[in-house]
């Protein structure tokens, strides 16, 4: 597409107008290569296993003495048993949801505790900004809690 532009020496010079293109999503870029497709399939499989795992777990994850303690992998217990005789595969399939949900909850809480007041303080400015800044400055001076 060209648009005429009036310049002092040359009355009409066509200039090509370049429109910005919408950036492609990361999923579309990944889907173009076979490595990306394999990675997305593996990721989808792992997420499906994590969220559907509790429904397909062969044993109760808390049941004691399902097998002998510290039994190795076998046809009955694919990943073996732990020191209390609990099936490791069942425990893994039931614990996966916590592994995914816990970091999401922590990030959301961190944003609510620090991000929201920071955004509001940056927008409002004035006394509220000063108070929020000083509160977070005090929190930053506290030593780290280590366990």
Each residue's pLDDT tens digit, 48-62? 988 999 999 999 999
Using CA atoms, how far apart are residues 77 and 64, in angstroms rounded to an integer? 14
Each residue's pLDDT tens digit, 65-124? 898 999 999 999 999 999 999 999 999 889 888 888 999 999 999 999 999 999 999 998
pTM above 0.75, yes or no: no
The DSSP-derived string for 95-136 is HHHHHHHHHHHHHHHHIIIIIHHHHHHHHH-HHHHHHHHHHH
Q: CA torsion, points 108, 109, 115, 121, in degrees to nearest 10?
A: 140
Kindly tell me the burial class for residue 107, based on how many C-beta atoms sit within 10 Å of its own C-beta (0-12, 13-18, 19 or more): exposed
């Amino acid at each position: 597409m060209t648009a005429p532009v009036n310049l002092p020496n040359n009355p009409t010079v066509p200039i090509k107008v370049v429109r910005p293109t919408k950036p492609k999503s990361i999923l579309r870029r990944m889907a173009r290569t076979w490595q990306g497709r394999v990675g997305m399939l593996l990721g989808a499989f792992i997420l499906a296993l994590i969220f559907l795992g509790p429904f397909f777990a062969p044993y109760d994850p808390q049941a004691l003495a399902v097998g002998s303690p510290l039994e190795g992998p076998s046809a009955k217990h694919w990943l073996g048993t732990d020191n209390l005789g609990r099936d490791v595969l069942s425990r893994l399939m039931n614990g996966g949801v916590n592994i995914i949900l816990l970091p999401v909850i922590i990030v959301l809480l961190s944003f609510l505790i620090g991000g929201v007041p920071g955004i509001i303080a940056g927008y409002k400015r004035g006394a509220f900004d000063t108070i929020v800044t000083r509160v977070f400055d005090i929190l930053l001076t506290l030593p780290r809690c280590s366990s």
